[in-house]
Amino acid sequence: MPSGALPGFRDFYPPEFSERAFVTRTWRDVARRYAFVEYDGPPLEPLELYTRKSGEEIVGQLYNFTDKGGREVALRPEMTPTLARMVASRANALRKPVRWFSIPQLFRYERQQKGRLREHFQLNVDILGEADVTADAELLAVAIDIMRAFGLTPSDVVARVSDRRLWRDRFVGNGVELDQMPQLFAVIDKIERAPRDVTLERLAALGLRPPVVDEILDFVQRKSVHEFLAAAEAVPAMAERVRELRRYATYLEALGVLEYVSIDTTIVRGLAYYTGIVFELFDARGEFRAVCGGGRYDNLLEALGGVSMPALGFGMGDVVLAELLRERGRMPPAEPAVDYWVAGSDDALLPQVMRIATRLRAGGRSVEYALRGQALGRQLKSAAAAGARRVVIIRPDLVEQGEAVIKTLADGHEERVRLSDWLEAA
């Protein structure tokens, strides 16, 4: 008895593959509407490409091995290092800004949990070579427009936006030392998943005074963009950030997506390489993990590829997104795989069946027929089982008159047609 798929990996039977195809087709459609072009890279990369970005501790999460040439390699756990390598190798020749997207399959050896497997497909969208906040607005608009393309509204999903620099401007020198920020971010990153008393203990353990703790707890209250900006204007140290966020909000409104957005300063993104505005998309009811996450990483390409270039991007995995679409009733049923089934009442009609199938296929239709002799009733049952929309029925008497019967399986309606004319119009 053959064993099933490895833990954390999936078999895609036709219904599951249909769902995956729906997701990836929508991703491509929206990305291309925003003038992003698709790229890809190898699923196997040098291990050093990932340790250079994340340190040796990343190795425990990778599928890595020594290949037959003695090279230390790993299945790709993310796409950004490959992107950095590819852009760096042709940096001078690429038109700026670079607007690329990819849909790689990624692999991580980590504990399975709801919404997280050991492999998944992920949409990666990146803009490279543009430092202005216009690019940040464009990037978030792509992510939100994808949600809209799936039929998800602001009552279904919310884009929670932040910027680590908000914390620096607000608290460094005002109760928090610069060297405390990494520890503070570690606490803030877990604040929604931790009980309040645990958060208070963690903040106190950093040596923060009670008034500063109170200000931090107020700072993490989620607010609309305009509400947050109005409050932030009262803090002189945040003036520069407020001006940038006001432009950001103006552009998001012009792009038609501001209604999906709120400011949430708990979104600090656990990865230290983010340098500016960051965001995560969540379902509005809080039932799932983040659907999408990303932001600006202006220094990463230089660290990975040796090319100094501003950059920003996001990743959107298929696992959580598919769960959300199913729960909201937005995952369409699998489309019928067969447009027409051609059925002959006599084995001698098989060549004629094949000729009809060939004409229909040449016109872009999906067509099936019985590959061995079957009674007409059996063929009709096979057509229904295949999900065919219509059956083209031919019999010797119909062939003599150049005719056929077109049967619609959904309602049983039958229509007798002149075959040559029908094939011309089908």
- Predicted confidence at residue 40, as pLDDT, reads 97
The total of structural domains in the chain comes to 2
Verify that 316 and 374 share a domain, yes or no. no
- Predicted confidence at residue 116, as pLDDT, reads 84
Which ranges of 233-375 does DSSP label H, i.e. alpha helix?
239-254, 300-305, 318-327, 350-362
Q: Are 87 and 303 in contact (CB under 8 A)?
A: no
- Predicted confidence at residue 271, as pLDDT, reads 60
145-155 pLDDT per residue, tens: 999 999 999 99
Last residue in a domain, options 261, 294, 327: 327
Which ranges of 255-349 does DSSP label H, i.e. alpha helix?
300-305, 318-327
Main-chain dihedrals φ then ψ at residue 376, nearest 5 degrees: -60, -40
Q: Predicted confidence band at 104 (pLDDT cuts at 50, 70, 90)?
A: very high
Return the exposure string of 268-281: e unless at least 16 CB atoms fall within 10 Å of the residue's CB, then b. bbeeebbbbbbbbb
Task: Give the residue among 342, 345, 340, 414 at the shortest CA–CA distance from 375.
Answer: 345
Q: How many CB atoms lie within 10 A of CB 163?
A: 25
206-230 pLDDT per residue, tens: 999 999 999 999 999 888 999 999 9
- CATH number, residue 197: 3.30.930.10
Verify that 252 and 190 share a domain, yes or no. yes
Last residue in a domain, options 304, 327, 350: 327
- Determine how β-strand 37-38 pairs with β-strand 261-263: unpaired
Q: Predicted confidence band at 23 (pLDDT cuts at 50, 70, 90)?
A: very high
Query: Which of helix, strand or coil describes residue 106?
Result: strand
Domain range holding 157?
14-327
316-347 pLDDT per residue, tens: 999 999 999 999 999 998 777 799 999 999 99
Is the pLDDT confidence value at 311 over 90?
Answer: yes
Residues 6+ apart with CB under 8 A from 198: none
63-75 pLDDT per residue, tens: 999 999 999 999 9
Q: Are 85 and 94 in contact (CB under 8 A)?
A: no
Q: Are 320 and 121 in contact (CB under 8 A)?
A: no
Verify that 210 and 277 share a domain, yes or no. yes
105 residue type, one letter: Q
- Predicted confidence at residue 25, as pLDDT, reads 97
Rounded to whole angstroms, what are the CA distances from 327 to 12, 24, 148, 152, 320? 19, 18, 16, 11, 11
Q: Kindly state whether residue 39 falls inside one of the protein's structural domains.
A: yes
Cα dihedral 186/163/141/264 (nearest 10)? 60
Task: Give the residue among 57, 65, 76 at the shortest CA–CA distance from 122.
Answer: 76
Verify that 259 and 152 share a domain, yes or no. yes
Q: Are 330 and 151 in contact (CB under 8 A)?
A: yes
Alpha carbons 363 and 357: distance in angstroms, whole number: 10
158-204 pLDDT per residue, tens: 999 999 899 999 999 888 898 888 889 889 988 888 899 999 999 99
- Predicted confidence at residue 2, as pLDDT, reads 58
Paired strand residues for 161: 263, 279
Is the pLDDT confidence value at 45 over 60?
Answer: yes
Q: Kindly state whether residue 153 falls inside one of the protein's structural domains.
A: yes
Which has the minimum average pLDDT: 29-33, 148-152, 270-274, 357-361? 270-274
DSSP state of 126: E
Q: Kindly state whether residue 9 falls inside one of the protein's structural domains.
A: no
Main-chain dihedrals φ then ψ at residue 190, nearest 5 degrees: -105, 5
- CATH number, residue 379: 3.40.50.800
- Predicted confidence at residue 175, as pLDDT, reads 87
Q: Predicted confidence band at 121 (pLDDT cuts at 50, 70, 90)?
A: very high
Region 303-307: what's the mean pLDDT?
Answer: 83
Q: Are 160 and 282 in contact (CB under 8 A)?
A: yes
Question: Is the omega angle on the peptide bond into residue 97 within 30 degrees of 0, that is, cis?
Answer: yes
Last residue in a domain, options 293, 327, 361: 327
237-248 pLDDT per residue, tens: 999 999 999 999
Rounded to whole angstroms, what are the CA distances from 226 to 187, 216, 231? 26, 20, 9
Verify that 280 and 399 share a domain, yes or no. no
Is the pLDDT confidence value at 1 over 60?
Answer: no
Q: Which tokens in the block code for residue 192?
A: 């929604």
Verify that 201 and 151 share a domain, yes or no. yes
Verify that 130 and 199 share a domain, yes or no. yes
Q: Are 320 and 291 in contact (CB under 8 A)?
A: yes
Region 96-122: what's the mean pLDDT?
Answer: 93
Q: Kindly state whether residue 334 falls inside one of the protein's structural domains.
A: no
Main-chain dihedrals φ then ψ at residue 417, nearest 5 degrees: -130, 160
Region 44-51: what's the mean pLDDT?
Answer: 93
Q: Which tokens in the block code for residue 426?
A: 């089908």
Verify that 412 and 355 share a domain, yes or no. yes
